[in-house]
Amino acid sequence: MNIDFDFIVRLFPDVFSYLPITLKIVLYALLVSFPVGVIMALINVKKIKGLSQIVRVYISLIRGTPLILHIYVIYTIGPFFIEKVFKTLHFKKSVYDVDNIVYAIIALSLTTTVSISEAIRAGLLSVDKGQEEAGYSVGLSKLQTFLRIVFPQALVAAFPVIGNTIVELIKGTSLSFLVSVTEITGRAKIVGGVELRYFEAYLTIFFVYIILIGTVELIIKALEKRTGRYRYGGQYAKS
């Protein structure tokens, strides 16, 4: 087997230029998943009747099915719903104007929401009830206590798991080419197909992903240290 290194060197900047598409999917998926995940975690922790059952069913449904299926299902029935929404809101847009990237973002958000909500739920449960009482005792309201005392601590506790979720999400974007979104993997497949050099194409994006995820992990680690400095004391404390 001979590997065409020139091809790899040529392809690398080419696929790398599709990084913004991948990042766009990640960013939008997080923007949807994070608030929804937090709300779901709250519903679960506060055991709000009715809603918490719905949330739990949703979590089991999503966790019990593969990501690729979510993508296919959203791609098949998504347009139907979007058309309905457009009609009821009297939008002049057609469903065919909707970029496929939207379906990828929705599908990936489904799983990411579940992971984030479970991480935050564990985080919320890890905060001692005494923290809440202390908040009330100094005169804070329920909302103030939650926003200033409980939630920040829950978030820090959940941070490592959320970091993993983000990494999973980045890897999940590689399935977007199934709905013909050209991101890193999609581009490699196309070029690899044109020049019939699949192996080199895959090897290239192997490195692209390693670099991308390596960088993201470094950022997450740094953030973890920074936000969690009160937990370790000592070296991180005073800054």
Partner 1 sequence: MLKVNDVYKSFGNNEVLKGVSFNVEKGDVVVILGPSGSGKTTLLRCIEFFEKADKGNVVLSDKVYSLSEHTKKNAKEFRKHTAFVFQNYNLFNNKTALGNVMEGLVTARKIPKEEAKKIAISALEKVGLKDRINYYPVQLSGGQQQRVGIARALAVNPDVIFFDEPTSALDPELVGEVLGTMKELAKDGTTMVVVTHEMKFAKEVGTKIIFMDEGKIVEEGAPDDIFTIPKNERTRQFLARYIDNFDYVI
Could you say whether residue 238 binds partner 1 (CB under 8 A)?
yes
Q: Least distance (Å) from partner 1 to the CB of residue 187?
A: 43
Could you say whether residue 136 binds partner 1 (CB under 8 A)?
yes
- C-beta atoms surrounding 2 within 10 Å: 4
Could you say whether residue 237 binds partner 1 (CB under 8 A)?
yes
Could you say whether residue 235 binds partner 1 (CB under 8 A)?
no
Which of the stretches 3-11, 162-170, 191-199, 223-231 binds partner 1 when contact is defined by CB under 8 A? 223-231
Rank residues 149 and 184 by Cβ distance to partner 1 and give the closer one: 149
Rank residues 156 and 175 by Cβ distance to partner 1 and give the closer one: 156
Q: Least distance (Å) from partner 1 to the CB of residue 197?
A: 53
Could you say whether residue 125 binds partner 1 (CB under 8 A)?
no
What is the C-alpha separation between 178 and 185, in angstroms, rounded? 10
Could you say whether residue 135 binds partner 1 (CB under 8 A)?
yes
What is the C-alpha separation between 36 and 165, in angstroms, rounded? 15
The upper half-sphere exposure of residue 127, i.e. CA atoms within 13 Å in the direction of its Cβ, equals 25
Helices (H) and strands (E) in the chain, counts: 11, 0
Burial pattern 45-70, b for ≥16 Cβ within 10 A else e, equals beeeeeebeebeeebeebeeeebeeb
DSSP line for 168-211: HHHHHGGGGGGGT--SHHHHHHHHHHHTT-HHHHHHHHHHHHHH
Q: Which two tokens stand for residue 227?
A: 């936000």
Could you say whether residue 226 binds partner 1 (CB under 8 A)?
no
Could you say whether residue 137 binds partner 1 (CB under 8 A)?
yes
Which of the stretches 115-123, 167-175, 193-201, 229-237 binds partner 1 when contact is defined by CB under 8 A? 229-237
Backbone angles phi, psi at 141, to 5 degrees: -80, 175
Q: Least distance (Å) from partner 1 to the CB of residue 160?
A: 16
Number of residues that bind partner 1 (CB under 8 A): 27
Could you say whether residue 10 binds partner 1 (CB under 8 A)?
no
Binding mask 155-194 for partner 1 (x = CB under 8 A): -x--------------------------------------
Q: Is the Cβ–Cβ distance between 110 and 70 less than 8 Å? A: yes
Calculated CA dihedral for residues 180, 183, 186, 191, nearest 10 degrees = 120
Backbone angles phi, psi at 140, to 5 degrees: -75, 150
Contact residues for partner 1 (CB under 8 A)?
Answer: 128, 130-131, 133-142, 144, 148-149, 152-153, 156, 229-234, 237-238
